[in-house]
Amino acid sequence: MILGRSTVQWTALIVAAAGLVQVMTVTLTELDPTVVATILGAATSFLSVFIAFLANTRTTPINDPVLSAGTSVSVKGSEDKVVIQPSPPGPTGIEGSGD
């Protein structure tokens, strides 16, 4: 995520903006459509890869999350409310199954 938006959303925005600029440039000016498409295609490719690189290095976890014993965790339900479930009494069976 970058600024609260996913990598896919940023990439889609970049591609849409490049498409808009390309259509408007070719329609409103007398520039060569091939040159416009080549320049915007290269810029779009670079920005898309840069966004993917930035998202992976800054915000994407690379390992499975592991919590220490006793860590408090809150979970939001589908209605965006915190769901709190008390721990069941007695052993949970996680420490050792005895098999």
pLDDT tens digits for 18-31? 888 888 888 888 88
pLDDT of res. 63: 64
The better pLDDT of the pair 5, 23 is held by 23
Q: How far apart are the first and last CA of the chain?
A: 43
State the pLDDT confidence band at 81, using cuts at 50, 70 and 90: low
**Residue 39: pLDDT above 60?**
yes
What mean pLDDT value characterizes the chain?
Answer: 75
- Mean pLDDT confidence for 58-66: 59
